[in-house]
Amino acid sequence: MAALLLRFIERITIRITSTLHLRGKILLLFGLIVIVPTIILGIAAGYFALQSVRSNYMVTIQEAVRQTAQNIEFRKQGYDLLAVRTAMDGELVARLDREYEDMYDQLNTVEYIDRAFLSTSKYMPGIEDFRIYHTNPTLVQDGRLLWKPEDRMLEGKSESLWYEQTLASKDMSGWINVAGRSEDIVITHKIIAASGAGIGMVFLQLDYNAVFGGLTEKPFNGAGELYILDAEHRVIAATDRDRIGTPIGLSPIRDLAEEISGGGGAAMDGSQYYVQSIGSGWSVAAVIHLDQLERQSKWILYGIIGCIVFFLLLSTFMVMTVMKNVVWRIRKLGNRMSDIAEGEFAVSVMNRDKDELGELEILFNSMSGKLGKLVVDMAKVKLKEREQSFRALQAQINPHFIYNSLSLVRWRAMDLNDQTQIRTIDALTTFYRLALDNEINVTRIEKELQHVQAYLEIQQLRYPELVRIEWDIDPEAAKFYTIKLLLQPIVENCYVHGAITSRAEAVIRISARCAGHRIRFQVEDNGVGIPPETQASLERGERTGSGNGFGTANIRERLRLYFGSESRFAIDSEQGFGTRVTIEIPACVERPEIRKEGDA
């Protein structure tokens, strides 16, 4: 039955078009097959699409609010993390809490703080001012990073009053809009000494436009308003800048902010209200004017219909002149593009014509060749970037300056016949000679062990008779190669995070043994151990909030770059009893090189 129907339609079509020229036949068929069905389907689809858009406004709006909230939360966390990492820097806390006896010690601290934190304002956009306030009477203020609270005005009050009020607050950190200047936002974070006393304050002044201006300026294509609220429902940022720094007041936004536990919405007076909670008790509130969205949707629909009609007419005009040639050539280009999509870049298209498609064919031939080269170059650049990142970390300190300074100090110590100071300086010289050799990233195991030994000698002088060091070194292992700075960061973690100096009968065991064609390193201590959740993060190669994941993540990355799957890095720890780190690498008699991505 279907075959008979198809033959009947075929006869009728041939009879109607038999008297027409080829152009007329193509235009008639194009109109019946394309234009008429497209207009009918376009009108129907536009109608149903408009109804669907209307019924799905809420879902779309809620998703837009959620994504905006995620963006705001990400920015907030970035600035909070910057303030927290500065305030919890162990060396900074120690230097602010100590008592200084001479100007040389103070200058040393100022130079350390400048070196460590002067570039902090470049980490995140919009940081206009960065300060570290302290009240240490024996330490100066340099006016760049180090400040003391005095009678200068800050946030509409004297620095001293501001410092006392902020330090006395129950919150460790806070975001504050500067009184009278809605364009500025201040972030503060307390600096707490080991005794628990507040000894300083991190101060960040942000440019509102750089931080929140792009998000709050005409959100939702100008069809709504956006408010960022803190835990007390005070407006931190808003589309209406007159509301910044004030409570949100009585409104559906306030009611939702008090009720939600993640997100919520309510409708009132032709507007839709949404509140999405983010970290630290903050929330993002959105007011969407549905009448504006409705007008936008209708104009979009009219624009789509107009474009469809225009291009249908244009295609009707073009189809007769370019159909035969263009379709065939586009199909040919499509086949070659499919080859490229499958990873075959050595393809080309034969070109004989000099029209636009001919130029496209020429460009395609050029692109296919350059694309293959670009893929190879990108892989090489990625490897180079990783290599340069390691070198950049090492090049931050001028080795010659350090060596010359240590030589000067050693000369002075020899004049005083201070043997302990001479031992310390010699250990420091050995330590930095190995650490700051920027020419190589691999070294013999013997050199790496010397580096660790120099570091431990410094710590033994710093904490005399508190930690016992046990060595188990296979002499055969010393001749093989390893990557540089492999063991010292792990040993340093025993002191910094393992709190080894606070343990009774503290001991650190370091071993390097040959095991067949492999080298096994182990560093073990009886320190405080690692919490299970932190250890799980370290095993996944993540950096933890306390900063102790940076060194292990760096070691894992370099092991993977130089040894690939042939390396192993494992952490075994029991909280309260100690930690053991095991590293295995191939026994390399020749210097290892960075591997390509496919070899890793």
What's the angle, vertex CA 598, arms to CA 593 and CA 600, rounded to 5?
Answer: 50
Q: How far apart are CA 538 and CA 571, in angstroms?
A: 8
**Radius of gyration over alpha carbons of the chain, in Å?**
35
Whichever domain contains 457, its CATH number is: 3.30.565.10
**What local confidence, expressed as pLDDT, does residue 513 receive?**
93
The answer to whether residue 399 sits within a structural domain is no
**What local confidence, expressed as pLDDT, does residue 358 receive?**
72
Chosen domain end from 157, 183, 211: 211
Q: Give the 3-state secondary structure of residue 234.
A: strand
Chosen domain end from 211, 228, 251: 211
**What local confidence, expressed as pLDDT, does residue 158 receive?**
86
Closest CA to 186 of 157, 150, 215: 157
Q: Do residues 543 and 599 make contact, with C-beta atoms less than 8 angstroms apart?
A: no
**What local confidence, expressed as pLDDT, does residue 507 receive?**
93
What's the angle, vertex CA 457, arms to CA 454 and CA 458, rounded to 5?
Answer: 90
Q: Do residues 215 and 71 make contact, with C-beta atoms less than 8 angstroms apart?
A: yes
Backbone dihedral region of 543: left (phi > 0), alpha (psi from -120 to 50 degrees) or beta?
A: beta
The answer to whether residue 116 sits within a structural domain is yes
Q: Tell me which amino acid residue 260 is.
A: I
**What local confidence, expressed as pLDDT, does residue 598 receive?**
45
The answer to whether residue 138 sits within a structural domain is yes
Sequence-ordered list of residues with C-beta below 8 angstroms from that of 474, at least 6 positions apart, any chain = 512, 513, 514
Half-sphere exposure of 466 (CA within 13 A, CB side): 17
pTM for the predicted model, two decimal places: 0.43
State the sign of the Cα–Cα–Cα–Cα dihedral 556, 562, 565, 570. Answer: negative
Q: How far apart are CA 253 and CA 217, in angstroms?
A: 19
Closest CA to 589 of 512, 521, 519, 484: 519
Number of domains in the chain: 2
Chosen domain end from 211, 228, 253: 211
Q: How far apart are CA 44 and CA 52, in angstroms?
A: 12
Closest CA to 58 of 368, 265, 222, 230: 265
The answer to whether residue 497 sits within a structural domain is yes
Q: Do residues 501 and 545 make contact, with C-beta atoms less than 8 angstroms apart?
A: no
Q: Give the 3-state secondary structure of residue 16.
A: helix
Q: Do residues 112 and 95 make contact, with C-beta atoms less than 8 angstroms apart?
A: yes
Q: Tens of pLDDT along the chain (600 residues)?
A: 777 887 877 777 777 766 666 566 666 777 777 777 877 877 777 677 666 666 666 677 778 788 888 888 888 888 888 889 989 999 999 999 999 988 999 999 999 988 888 887 677 888 888 999 999 999 998 888 899 998 888 767 888 988 998 888 888 888 888 766 766 788 999 999 988 889 999 999 888 888 888 888 888 777 788 888 887 888 888 888 877 878 877 566 766 666 665 566 666 666 777 888 887 778 888 888 777 666 666 676 777 778 777 777 776 666 666 565 655 667 777 777 777 777 676 677 777 666 666 777 777 777 777 776 776 676 676 766 666 556 545 554 455 556 556 665 666 667 667 677 677 777 676 666 666 665 678 889 998 898 888 888 888 888 888 899 999 999 998 899 999 888 988 998 898 888 888 888 899 999 999 988 999 999 999 988 888 888 877 776 665 544 454 578 888 888 998 998 899 999 998 888 899 999 999 999 888 888 765 455
Q: Do residues 477 and 445 make contact, with C-beta atoms less than 8 angstroms apart?
A: yes
Distances (CA, A) of 332 to 234, 339, 360, 366: 62, 11, 12, 16
The answer to whether residue 242 sits within a structural domain is no
The answer to whether residue 503 sits within a structural domain is yes
The answer to whether residue 114 sits within a structural domain is yes
The answer to whether residue 478 sits within a structural domain is yes
Q: How far apart are CA 332 and CA 326, in angstroms?
A: 10
DSSP 29-52: HHIIIIIHHHHHHHHHHHHHHHHH
Domain with 132, as residue range(s), is: 88-211
Distances (CA, A) of 325 to 164, 359, 360: 81, 15, 14
